[in-house]
């Protein structure tokens, strides 16, 4: 490809709308354009990257026995009514009517359609297992489409669905996908972690997320350097710090704490460690038509993990109670709540609370706190649950080492569905004994454009993108320093032709532009390798190869340039990074 012809309208200015690095560079490098919130055009450079990622994905799915098909994007409402999701999916579902006023939706995911297909076409255990996948456009009316391609409203996803005859079969399919996903991101040369994810009401280790490590990511993960443990902070658990001190239990005492309400203020005022304090929060658990208050106790230095709390309660939503509700339940203004003497309300203590000795808590009375509070003696603890947020430094529950935390972008998600959809939709087969059984299912998704954006979030500098070789739109850019110098253009054209013949993906910057402009564009677009052709090195029969990532330059003989490039490309293609 010649740069003079490449349709990549680069921008010098940082577009005001771009919130993240990947969004900014995708726009600036002339790779995407927005037509409405969360809806993008992919220009040729982006399309090349997406196709490379898709190719890797297809190869890994096929290796595990996956078969590609293509399901429609337009779904009749009937199927969604059958699964029950027409009502619960909410506003994220794009709904529409046809000319006969019949309801349809644009598929945000395809469990309903694939389950319908399989229930009609598969009737015997002999036809199982079945791994079916597609790479197709999904539509989700996200509340907040943002970060460019990371949270769009129309995006391509690879989604695979597994159908097995029993749980053991599902386990095998799940492991295959776990392996395939690890291979996909390794082959894209992305640094990633596989983390246990929150799978809502289903629980267990039925779900893993594949997270590309990047400071700018929306997901926070806790991981152990010493063993393989890694989990989304939403569900991460640490070894429980429940060693009880042998300190004698002192007598409960009411102390005046005028105007002192926050944990930090109380700790300071009474000169106690926040770990000694019993943080008391009032939440409202909200279900379809009812809501009820719950009092939550935590060690003073802890934060509530609302996902864990919500899972424990099994409610639809959760909200901190307003000041009036707090007063109704505790009889005191916000800042003085405590468990001592509280009645007729559900009380949940975090796992670390029962071992607090001579603690401090609010006295349910304005301007007073209790000191020397001992759980079990001064208030009854009946419901204990792990509801605190894990932080760096907590001990790994597997090996005891200090956990670390980092941020990342979820690019893939694998999920054991079990019989949720097959039962709801009556999708059954006949087992060995002739009994009717529901299919045991799994679903597995990779966001293709999100993976491209995550690659940029992880691989860039202040000049632009640094593409990992396996997914770079082009591997090499050839830059004659001055296109008007005939000798330079002659060598450039010759190398360009030789590279094409050798199968190298190359762009020749043949534009009549200043060298600075060409170098800036090369850095912005992020070609992994640049070949610079300047008059001085030509005198010695050499050109210069520069690695985008390290900035390392090396002079090479013109005759050896193609072979050297091939070698550099080969080395980068197979490197692959994983943690
Ligand atoms: P999130 O928690 O980020 O909303 P999700 O749990 O809704 O993700 P899944 O339904 O598991 O995502 O989708 C599988 C994959 O599709 C995700 O891992 C991600 O790569 C991609 N994906 C999901 N939503 C979007 C979106 N709005 N824009 C781009 N990619 C997306
Ligand atoms: Mg989502």
**Which residue's CA is minimally distant from atom 18 of ligand 1?**
412
Q: For residue range 23-73, what is the model confidence (pLDDT) as tens digits? A: 999 999 999 999 999 999 999 999 999 999 999 999 999 999 999 999 999
38 is written with which tokens?
């969360």
Q: Which residue has the tokens 């569900």?
A: 235
**Which residue's CA is minimally distant from atom 3 of ligand 1?**
410
Question: How close is the Cα of 467 to the center of ligand 2, in Å?
Answer: 27
Question: How close is the Cα of 378 to the center of ligand 1, in Å?
Answer: 47
Topology match between the domains 47-73+109-237+405-457 and 253-385: no
According to CATH, the superfamily of the domain at 253-385 is YbaK/aminoacyl-tRNA synthetase-associated domain (3.90.960.10)
Report which bound ligand comes closest to the CA of 195. 1
Burial, 419: exposed, middle or buried (Cβ in 10 Å; 0-12, 13-18, 19+)? middle
Report which bound ligand comes closest to the CA of 145. 1
Q: Residue 555 pairs with which residues in a beta bridge? A: 544
Q: Identify which of 144, 411, 445 to mutate to test ligand 1's pocket (most ligand atoms within 8 A of the CB).
A: 445
State the pTM of this model: 0.85
Question: How close is the Cα of 108 to the center of ligand 1, in Å?
Answer: 10
492 is written with which tokens?
């450039």
Question: How close is the Cα of 231 to the center of ligand 1, in Å?
Answer: 17
Residues contacting residue 231 through CB under 8 Å, at least 6 positions apart:
195, 196, 197, 221, 222, 223, 237, 390
**Which residue's CA is minimally distant from atom 23 of ligand 1?**
447
pLDDT for 202: 42
pLDDT for 579: 39
Report which bound ligand comes closest to the CA of 219. 1
Burial, 70: exposed, middle or buried (Cβ in 10 Å; 0-12, 13-18, 19+)? exposed
pLDDT for 105: 98
Q: What is the dihedral of CA 27, 33, 35, 41, to 10 degrees?
A: -140
Report which bound ligand comes closest to the CA of 212. 1
pLDDT for 498: 98
- Residue spans of the domains in the chain: they are 47-73+109-237+405-457, 253-385, 474-573
Q: How far is CA 521 from CA 25, 65, 404, 535, in A?
A: 11, 42, 38, 21
Q: By three-state DSSP, how is residue 491 classified?
A: helix
Question: How close is the Cα of 447 to the center of ligand 1, in Å?
Answer: 6
pLDDT for 88: 86
- DSSP state letter for 475: S
Question: How close is the Cα of 415 to the center of ligand 2, in Å?
Answer: 14
Between helix 167-187 and helix 44-63 the angle, nearest 10°, is 140
**Which residue's CA is minimally distant from atom 25 of ligand 1?**
151
User: Which atom of ligand 1 sits closest to the CA of residue 451?
Assistant: 20
pLDDT for 60: 97
Question: How close is the Cα of 181 to the center of ligand 1, in Å?
Answer: 15
Q: By three-state DSSP, how is residue 290 classified?
A: coil
Pairing assessment for the beta strands 346-350 and 291-299 based on DSSP bridges: parallel
User: Which atom of ligand 1 sits closest to the CA of residue 153?
Assistant: 27
Residues contacting residue 470 through CB under 8 Å, at least 6 positions apart:
52, 56, 187, 188, 189, 572, 573
pLDDT for 198: 66
- What's the topology of domain 47-73+109-237+405-457? BirA Bifunctional Protein; domain 2 (3.30.930)
Report which bound ligand comes closest to the CA of 445. 1
Q: Give, for 40, the enclosing helix (H) or strand (E).
A: strand 39-42
Q: Identify which of 50, 217, 413, 453 to mutate to test ligand 1's pocket (most ligand atoms within 8 A of the CB).
A: 413
Q: Identify which of 135, 217, 410 to mutate to test ligand 1's pocket (most ligand atoms within 8 A of the CB).
A: 410
Q: What is the dihedral of CA 64, 69, 70, 76, to 10 degrees?
A: -100
Q: Identify which of 157, 160, 181, 193 to mutate to test ligand 1's pocket (most ligand atoms within 8 A of the CB).
A: 157
Q: Is the peptide bond before 156 cis (omega within 30 degrees of 0)?
A: no
Residue 35, Cα to own-chain centre: how many angstroms?
25
According to CATH, the superfamily of the domain at 474-573 is Anticodon-binding domain (3.40.50.800)
Residues with C-beta less than 6 Å from any ligand 1 atom: 109, 140, 142, 151-152, 155, 157, 410-413, 445-447, 450
Task: Work out the angle at residue 312's Cα, subtended by the Cα atoms of residues 406 and 234, and round it to the nearest 5 degrees.
Answer: 10
Distance CA 552, CA 557 (A): 17
- DSSP state letter for 354: G
Closest CA to 441 of 69, 94, 118, 85: 118
User: Which atom of ligand 1 sits closest to the CA of residue 412?
Assistant: 18
Question: How close is the Cα of 532 to the center of ligand 2, in Å?
Answer: 45
The whole-number mean pLDDT for each consecutive block of 10 residues of the chain, a chain of 579 residues, reads 97 88 97 96 98 97 98 98 91 96 97 98 97 98 94 98 97 97 96 80 68 90 88 87 82 94 92 94 90 95 94 90 93 93 93 94 95 94 94 91 94 95 96 97 97 98 97 98 94 97 97 96 98 93 97 96 96 64
Closest CA to 553 of 492, 473, 479: 479
């Amino acid at each position: 490809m010649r740069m003079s012809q490449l349709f990549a309208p680069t921008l010098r200015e940082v577009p005001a709308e771009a919130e993240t690095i990947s969004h900014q560079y995708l726009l600036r490098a002339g790779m995407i354009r927005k037509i409405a919130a969360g809806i993008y055009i992919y220009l040729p450079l982006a399309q090349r990257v997406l196709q490379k990622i898709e190719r890797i994905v297809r190869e890994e799915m096929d290796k595990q026995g996956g078969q590609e098909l293509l399901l429609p994007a337009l779904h009749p409402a009937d199927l969604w009514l059958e699964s029950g999701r027409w009502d619960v999916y909410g506003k994220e579902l794009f709904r529409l009517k046809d000319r006969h006023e019949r309801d349809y939706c644009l598929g945000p995911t395809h469990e309903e359609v694939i389950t319908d297909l399989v229930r009609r076409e598969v009737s015997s255990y002999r036809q199982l297992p079945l791994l079916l996948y597609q790479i197709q456009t999904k539509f989700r009316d996200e509340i907040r489409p943002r970060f460019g391609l990371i949270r769009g409203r129309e995006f391509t996803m690879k989604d695979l669905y597994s159908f097995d005859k029993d749980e053991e079969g599902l386990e095998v399919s799940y492991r295959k996908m776990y392996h395939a996903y690890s291979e996909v991101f390794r082959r894209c040369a992305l640094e990633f972690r596989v983390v246990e994810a929150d799978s809502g009401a289903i629980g267990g280790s039925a779900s893993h997320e594949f997270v590309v490590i990047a400071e700018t990511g929306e997901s926070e993960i806790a991981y152990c350097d010493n063993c393989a443990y890694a989990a989304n902070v939403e569900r991460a658990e640490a070894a429980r710090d429940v060693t009880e001190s042998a300190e004698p239990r002192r007598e409960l005492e009411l102390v005046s704490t005028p105007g002192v309400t926050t944990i930090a203020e109380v700790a300071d005022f009474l000169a106690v460690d926040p770990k000694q304090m019993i943080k008391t929060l009032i939440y409202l658990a909200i279900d379809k038509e009812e809501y009820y208050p719950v009092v939550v106790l935590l060690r003073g230095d802890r934060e509530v993990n609302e996902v864990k709390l919500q899972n424990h309660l099994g409610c639809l939503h959760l909200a901190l109670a307003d000041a009036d509700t707090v007063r109704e339940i505790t009889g005191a203004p916000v800042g003085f709540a405590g468990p001592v003497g509280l009645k007729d309300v559900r009380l949940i203590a975090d796992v670390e609370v029962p071992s607090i000795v001579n603690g401090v808590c609010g006295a349910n009375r304005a301007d007073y706190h209790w000191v020397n509070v001992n759980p079990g003696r001064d208030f009854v603890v009946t419901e204990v649950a792990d509801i605190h947020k894990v932080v760096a430094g907590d001990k790994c529950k597997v090996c005891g080492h200090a956990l670390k935390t980092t941020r990342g972008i979820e690019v893939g998600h694998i999920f054991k569905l079990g019989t949720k959809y097959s039962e709801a939709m009556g999708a059954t087969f006949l087992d060995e004994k002739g009994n009717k059984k529901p299919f045991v299912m799994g679903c597995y998704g990779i966001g293709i454009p999100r993976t491209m954006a995550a690659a940029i979030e992880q691989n860039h500098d202040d000049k632009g993108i640094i593409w990992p070789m396996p997914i770079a739109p082009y591997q090499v850019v050839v830059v004659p320093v001055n296109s008007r110098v005939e000798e330079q253009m002659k060598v450039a054209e010759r190398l360009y032709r030789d590279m094409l013949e050798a199968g190298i993906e190359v762009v020749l910057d043949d534009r009549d532009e200043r060298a600075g402009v060409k170098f800036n564009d090369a850095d912005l677009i992020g070609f992994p390798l640049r070949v610079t052709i300047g008059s001085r090195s030509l005198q010695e029969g050499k050109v210069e190869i520069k690695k985008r990532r390290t900035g390392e330059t090396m002079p090479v003989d013109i005759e050896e340039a193609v072979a050297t490039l091939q070698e550099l490309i080969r080395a980068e293609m197979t490197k692959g990074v994983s943690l």
